[in-house]
Structure 1
């Protein structure tokens, strides 16, 4: 049913993604699908990487580690944004098309009052993507 599953990851908060990563790995095994881990970084140095190339390498290493941990096929897709805090949603929407994903699995938080004013990233992607989206809490 699904062949390419996109999983947005924030390498700075990878520890908070366990439920989404586990869910994605389980579905990838079930459907013999490839997981494509997408990361978005600025072109400027950050706590994760000094350059976009270094960020892409770290994301690739993350994908390789997930493949080994779960016994699945993985890829990485690094994207650069001028300001990831502001451009994250449109950048992820672009990544859905670039990766050829037919499902997006992404982590989310428990909704709070601000989500009624500003939509969450998961809510925005689910509301606008042309593919199925699973938001994991």
Structure 2
């Protein structure tokens, strides 16, 4: 049913991704799907990486570790943005097309009052992506 799963990850917040990563792993193994981990980074230094090349290496290492630990095929696609805070939704939507994903599995926070003003990343991706989207809360 699913052949390519895109899993957006924020390497600075890996601890908040456990539930979504478990769902990604389970679905990948169930369907024999490839997983593409997509991370959006800035071209400027951050707490995660000094530059986009270093970020790409860290994202690739993350993908390889997930694949080895959970037994699925994985790759990494780093996306460089001028301002990841404001561009992340558009960057991820473009990545769904560029990667050929037929499913996106992504973490999201529990809804709160601010979601009526600024929609969550998961909500925007689910609303606009041309593929299925599984938003994992918590």
Q: TM-score range by the shorter chain?
A: over 0.9
**1:46-81 residue CA offsets vs partner (Å, 9 max, x unmatched):** 011111011000000000000111011100000000
Quote the residue 1:6 is aligned against: 6
Quote the residue 1:135 is aligned against: 135
Gaps of at least 5 residues in structure 1 are: none
Q: Equivalences for 1:55-94 in 2 at 5 Å?
A: 55-94=55-94
Secondary structure in 1 aligned to 2:134? strand
Secondary structure in 2 aligned to 1:44? coil
Number of residues of Structure 1 aligned to a counterpart in Structure 2: 137
Q: Equivalences for 1:33-44 in 2 at 5 Å?
A: 33-44=33-44
- Across the aligned residues of Structure 1 and Structure 2, the Cα RMSD in angstroms comes to 0.4
Secondary structure in 2 aligned to 1:2? coil
- For residues 11 and 67 of structure 2, the distance between their equivalents in structure 1, rounded to whole angstroms, comes to 16
Quote the residue 1:49 is aligned against: 49
Gaps of at least 5 residues in structure 2 are: none
* Consecutive aligned runs of 4 or more in structure 1 exceeding 2 Å deviation: none
Secondary structure in 2 aligned to 1:12? helix
- For residues 100 and 60 of structure 1, the distance between their equivalents in structure 2, rounded to whole angstroms, comes to 18
Quote the residue 1:28 is aligned against: 28
- For residues 53 and 98 of structure 2, the distance between their equivalents in structure 1, rounded to whole angstroms, comes to 18
TM superposition shift of 1:103: 0.3
- For residues 5 and 84 of structure 1, the distance between their equivalents in structure 2, rounded to whole angstroms, comes to 22
